[in-house]
Chains A and B, each alone.
Chain A
Amino acid sequence: MNPPRALIAEDEPLLAAGLRADLASLWPGLQVLATVGDGLQAATQALALRPDVCFFDIRMPGCTGLEAAQALAEDWPEGVAFPLLVFVTAYDDYALQAFEAQAVDYLVKPVDHERLAGCVARLQARLAARVAPVVGIEQALAQLRGLLGAAPGAVTPGAPAQPRLAVIQAQVGNLVHLVPVEEVVYFEAADKYVRVITAQKEHLIRTSLRELLPQLDAQAFWQVHRGTVVQARCIGSARREESGKVTLTLRGRPETLVASRLYAHLFKGM
């Protein structure tokens, strides 16, 4: 068996170095592939390096550790063992009960030696148990669903409920287009913008999907991917692919959309 390999995502350099040093003494066999300082790199580096264990800080620039894990789960290649995830958090970044409830491994900063030793022992046991081609992504998906469901769209549970959006206001130069929300077929994240697609037209709005999501009716608008939110009544059909992803056809739009594995459970016969 190859030596286990790890990726550390932590934006505070001292803490990253500290965790690395502590791991080196507690788990000499562990090879730390890289230490990254933001959420976006956490996801891309994990996808590129395919570590066995990921230590993700929750609060990071770019995107949160939780969102990085979501991106990882959505884009993880078929047939490769999914990394064991350990979330690292300070105080009440995230309700620790949520981690407990989902049986997710987590460390609370400052990380004491004993707690880290316990975590290492658990990780070693789980790595040793995965001899056969057990992929382990299903369990990770179930846990992530639970975590993201506990805090829809954000890592701040208990945020005040936001008023529902009735019209989308898309500005082009000094002209503002008003688009009734019910005419929107889907929203798609595009860097710092969101594309708003109706049956006829397409608009760009300067907001993030994360800010938009709480203002939409969750019954009518379904998130099917970390970057896509579709109006349910505009979905024509859903086909489950080999990879576990789901291809969606739309009413009124020729293109198809992909629902990630994380949201594939939304589509099942009645």
Chain B
Amino acid sequence: MALRKSTLPEPAPAVPTGALLQTWQRLRTSAWRQLLVVGTLCLGIAVLLTALDGRGFGPKLVYSLSIGVVCTGLVGGARLFVAWVHDQLRRARGLPTATDFNGWAGAIPGALLAMTLGPFIGLTLGDLLTGKQSASVWNLASSNTRITLVLSLLGTVISLVVISSLERLASARAAAEAAQRQAAEHQLRLLQSQLEPHMLFNTLANLRVLIGLDAAQAQAMLDRLISFLRATLNASRLASHPLATEFERIADYLALMGVRMGARLQTQLNLPEALRDLPVPPLLLQPLVENAIKHGLEPHVQGGLITVSAQAQGQELVLTVRDTGAGLGGTPVATSFATTVATPVATPFATPGSHFGVAQVRERLITLHGNKAALTIEPAADAQGGTRATIRMPLPRLT
């Protein structure tokens, strides 16, 4: 367990709950970028105005920056306020606060506020800074005022568009990173579930003893282990392999388990000649066979029989893994895609890994065939007892 923890990448940091907190974090992370955008815009406006009337550049920059900063502040404030209201409304209704709040809801009232109040406050601030007295914003007769108003309006709209697309870009990048991380984590867990350390070390322990007792058999066992390991490591790279190869790898795995369990494990593989070349996802059956051993036969004192069969039924390929072991502990677990969550099966050795194995088979089937494929795990309905896992999928075409 300890090793498993340390080799997995740390889980992605929890999403902050609450619209206010989320908006605040978004604003904080983009603050410098926003100031840069607004600053550049204001500098551009000041340069433009100076070019038009040819008079002092300094005061124009101060006024332009004042208006820009005030407008940005107003938009940010409005976004925070709307987020806060959103939180309060949800709390009042007893709902949990949002985890995926889109902070731009507040930008529209913010923009309106910025366009109306922004120039007025900005000019006043500019007056304070420069010590001059500019014409009142409300004096629309002054061409200066009109230019100021139009420019603030344009500036606000442009900066909003630029900043929002920057923010969207950043969040898209974060989402892509999270997805990549999740995929890597998934891959690692898949590999870990297939290369189950307990199986690996126990097999090696048996091999170690066998070397001293029967070198030829030890060599044969080692060959099986090698082909099983190679198939496991290749499984994520290949899209499919022939059903016959799938059965060979299952045979390798069962032979390794046979050395370990001795007479307690009997196996039977039924693959009709006609189905040998059908392409199937690599090692699709392996987690089911592993579960049959781990939860069916290993805990069962007298052991039992594992039967792996393939059948064509109409337009469907039906793959079954059946054991005569301990069974499902009285809890029938019949799940199809209607209930994708695997019901936990209480067995002495139930580990999160085994559920991952079943979930992973389901996931692969969904990805490939949507709801045209299904995995069911149920008590075997005959006198021998045990468990039957059945995969139904559209009959693959020969390639």
Chain A residues whose CB sits within 8 angstroms of the CB of B349 once the complex forms = 59, 155-156
Interface residues on B, range: 35 or more
Chain B at the A interface: mostly helix, strand, loop or mixed? Answer: helix
Minimal Cβ-Cβ distance residue in B for A67: B348
Given contacts A40-B301, A61-B298, A109-B205, contact A14 B210 (CB under 8 A): yes
A207 at the interface (CB under 8 A from B): yes
Which among B2, B205, B208 has the greatest number of chain A C-beta atoms within 10 A?
B205
- Given A17-B213, A61-B298, A93-B198, does the pair A110, B205 have CB atoms closer than 8 Å? yes
Query: A158 interface residue, CB < 8 Å from B?
Result: yes
Q: Is the CB of A14 within 8 A of B202?
A: no
Interface hit among B255-263, B315-323, B383-391: B255-263
Which B residues are CB-close (under 8 A) to A64? 348
Interface residues of A in 189-232 (CB under 8 A from B): 206-208, 210-211
Please state if B330 and A206 are interface contacts (CB–CB under 8 Å): yes
Q: A21-B212, A92-B2 are in contact. Are A207 and B329 (CB under 8 A)?
A: yes
Contacts of A61-112 to chain B: CB distance below 8 A = 61-64, 90-93, 95, 97, 109-111
Of B3, B260, B351, the contact of A156 (CB 8 Å cutoff) = B351
Question: B201 touches which one: A11, A90, A160 (CB < 8 A)?
Answer: A90
Question: From residue A53, how far is it (CB to closest CB) to chain B in Å?
Answer: 20
Q: B350 an interface residue at 8 Å Cβ cutoff?
A: yes
**Nearest CB of chain A from residue B265's CB, rounded to whole Å:** 11
A138 at the interface (CB under 8 A from B): no
Tell whether A18 pairs with B198 under 8 Å between CB atoms, given A62-B301, A158-B1. no
Q: Are A210 and B348 in contact (CB under 8 A)?
A: yes
B299 at the interface (CB under 8 A from A): yes
Residue contact B262 to A13, C-beta cutoff 8 Å:
yes
Question: Does A110 contact B201, Cβ atoms closer than 8 Å?
Answer: yes
Bound together, the chains give a CA A225 to CA B300 distance in angstroms of 24
Question: Does A154 belong to the interface (CB within 8 Å)?
Answer: yes
Docked complex Cα distance between A182 and B303 (Å): 39
Give the interface size class of chain A.
35 or more
> Does A241 sit within 8 A of B, measured CB to CB?
no
A15: interface (CB < 8 Å): yes
Contact B209 A14, beta carbon cutoff 8 Å = yes
Q: Does B197 contact A (CB under 8 A)?
A: yes
In the assembled complex, the CB of A176 is this many whole angstroms from the nearest CB of chain B, namely 14
Chain B residues, Cβ within 8 Å of A155:
348-349
Determine the distance from Cα of A26 to Cα of B236 in the docked complex, in whole angstroms: 45
Cβ contacts A to B, 25 pairs, < 8 Å: A11-B261, A11-B298, A14-B206, A14-B209, A14-B260, A14-B262, A18-B205, A21-B209, A21-B212, A37-B264, A59-B198, A61-B300, A61-B301, A62-B299, A62-B301, A91-B197, A91-B198, A92-B3, A95-B1, A97-B2, A109-B205, A111-B205, A155-B348, A155-B349, A157-B1
List 20 extra interface pairs beyond A14-B213, A37-B301, CB under 8 A.
A15-B209, A17-B209, A18-B205, A18-B209, A59-B349, A61-B298, A61-B300, A63-B348, A64-B348, A91-B198, A91-B201, A91-B202, A92-B197, A109-B205, A110-B201, A110-B205, A111-B205, A156-B350, A208-B329, A210-B348
